Amino acid sequence: MDNSHIEEKMSKTISVLRENLAEIRAGRANPAILNKIKVDYYGVPTPINQVAGISVPEARLIVIQPWDASILKEIEKEILKSDIGINPNNDGRVIRLAFPELTEERRKEIVKEVKKLGEDAKVSIRSVRREGIDEAKEMQKEGLISEDELRTSEESIQKLTDKKIAEIDTEIENKEKEVMSI
């Protein structure tokens, strides 16, 4: 039995987890926190990185320089509306986002968020495992695979699950270290 579709679903789950972790503000300036913010550019909701240059000149500073100065106010407004928790500083040419030093309490809150994202990803992986095993059992009932093939398939799905959960643990551990070491 081919388990490539199961591995693909599990890999997508980990990919989504990585994206979510990249958006978590860890005290260091990371342009990924702007990924979900869109500005109205000639009537089209457009990601900030498509209407402006984004740079990180210092560890705690993001500079956004729009290619069209007329949307500076719009970018500032959208950043204020978003939930990133940073007030933009607009000097008429660029927007600066200064990241404050994280308190110990805030770091612990972020670590809790990170762990919750990890648990959610593990639940998704286990759900994919359950679907895969149910699918294999159904195939065995229909006589498409033998009991031995069913057992082999279940073992390979479990090994894949264990591998992906270990990947999630590594991602979560790395993000925790990043948050706590800043």
Q: Which domain holds residue 115?
A: 4-22+103-181
Nearest to 117 by CA among 157, 51, 38, 173: 173
- Looking at the fold, whether 153 and 121 belong to one and the same domain comes out as yes
- Residue that is last in its domain, among 65, 98, 131: 98
Give me the CATH number covering residue 54. 3.30.1360.40
Tell me which of 44 and 182 has the higher pLDDT: 44
Nearest to 102 by CA among 173, 32, 179: 179
Tell me what the pLDDT averaged over the chain comes to: 87
Handedness of CA 8, 10, 11, 13 (dihedral sign): positive
- Residue that is last in its domain, among 44, 72, 98: 98
- Residue that is last in its domain, among 57, 81, 98: 98
177 falls in which pLDDT band (50, 70, 90)?
Answer: confident
- Looking at the fold, whether 83 and 144 belong to one and the same domain comes out as no
End-to-end CA distance of the chain: 47
Tens of pLDDT, residue by residue over 24-79, are 766 677 787 888 889 988 888 888 888 889 988 887 888 999 988 888 888 888 88
Number of domains in the chain: 2
Tell whether pTM > 0.85: no
- Looking at the fold, whether 11 and 71 belong to one and the same domain comes out as no
pLDDT surpassing 90 at residue 169? yes
- Looking at the fold, whether 17 and 32 belong to one and the same domain comes out as no
Give me the CATH number covering residue 157. 1.10.132.20
182 falls in which pLDDT band (50, 70, 90)?
Answer: low
Residue with tokens 């500032």: 76
